[in-house]
Chains A and B, each alone.
Chain A
Amino acid sequence: AQSVAQPEDQVNVAEGNPLTVKCTYSVSGNPYLFWYVQYPNRGLQFLLKYITGDNLVKGSYGFEAEFNKSQTSFHLKKPSALVSDSALYFCAVRDIDDYKLSFGAGTTVTVRA
């Protein structure tokens, strides 16, 4: 079985400050990990993924995520948040032996000007 937890329903930051969205996962084998973003009235947009190799993964719009196997975490980060980053963020996990994605409940990010 695989699952994802996003412990924060909401994250609020000021524009220009660092942004972190937390994610922890559980899989029986090795994971593939993904971050998606959803803007109002839109579908999910792929941001980045971890497959193997470097623990720090860089993605779209200046986002990056750090894979930590010992803590089973895959936190999303952005050094300097923009108001336009305000959206709903989803973490997802796949066991490499499965094709199904399991999503977290999502974290609403609000960046204030």
Chain B
Amino acid sequence: ETGVTQTPRHLVMGMTNKKSLKCEQHLGHNAMYWYKQSAKKPLELMFVYSLEERVENNSVPSRFSPECPNSSHLFLHLHTLQPEDSALYLCASSQVKGTGDPYEQYFGPGTRLTVT
């Protein structure tokens, strides 16, 4: 996939580890998103960056720390996670000019995270 890429695709980490998820979009978009997908639950929006500024933090625990160094890259830094944090983490991007724009989001393939 060339639109939105995510690495690694799979990650197993212990509760005391520190790891990072990486997302890169090649679509020229100016907004990027992190979602958590757990089985049988709606996608949970975690963080939103628009024009490289964080505009949304949905009460996400501090053990998740996002970073957006530029409009094409987004990271999710992980430390001291819990087993219930095991899930598929999806990155998405979109073009945002104003809140009234109907642009759809484009998703990466996700990182399957398992916390042991």
| A residues with CB within 8 A of B | 4, 9, 32, 34, 36, 41-46, 49, 51, 90, 94, 96-106
Stretch touching chain A among B12-20, B64-72, B75-83, B98-106: B98-106
Known: A51-B102, A96-B102. A103 touches B107 (CB 8 A): no
Measured in the bound complex, the distance between the Cα atoms of B3 and A46 in whole Å is: 12
Total residues of chain B contacting the partner, CB 8 A = 27
B111 to chain A, nearest CB (A): 10
Cβ contacts B29-50/A at 8 Å (1 or 0 each): 0010000000011110100101
| B residues with CB within 8 A of A | 1, 4, 6, 31, 40-43, 45, 48, 50, 55-56, 90, 92, 96, 99-100, 102, 104-110, 112
Contact of A43 among B31, B41, B96, B110 (CB under 8 A): B110
Judge whether A42 and B42 touch: CB under 8 Å: no
Judge whether A105 and B42 touch: CB under 8 Å: yes
Judge whether B50 and A46 touch: CB under 8 Å: no
Query: B90 contacts which chain A residues (CB < 8 A)?
Result: 43-44
A1 to chain B, nearest CB (A): 13
Measured in the bound complex, the distance between the Cα atoms of B55 and A105 in whole Å is: 24
Judge whether B100 and A97 touch: CB under 8 Å: yes
Judge whether B102 and A101 touch: CB under 8 Å: no
Query: B104 contacts which chain A residues (CB < 8 A)?
Result: 34, 46, 49
A31 to chain B, nearest CB (A): 10
Judge whether A43 and B108 touch: CB under 8 Å: yes
Query: B92 contacts which chain A residues (CB < 8 A)?
Result: 43-44
B24 to chain A, nearest CB (A): 13
Q: A4-B42, A103-B42, A105-B40 are known contacts; what are 8 more A-B pairs with Cβ within 8 Å?
A: A32-B102, A36-B107, A43-B1, A43-B90, A43-B107, A46-B105, A49-B102, A103-B43
Measured in the bound complex, the distance between the Cα atoms of B42 and A9 in whole Å is: 12
A21 to chain B, nearest CB (A): 15
Contact of A45 among B43, B50, B107 (CB under 8 A): B107
Query: B100 contacts which chain A residues (CB < 8 A)?
Result: 96-97
23 contacts between A and B (CB under 8 A): A4-B42, A41-B112, A42-B110, A43-B6, A43-B108, A43-B109, A43-B110, A44-B90, A44-B92, A44-B107, A94-B102, A96-B99, A97-B99, A97-B100, A99-B31, A99-B50, A99-B55, A99-B96, A100-B45, A100-B48, A101-B105, A104-B42, A105-B40
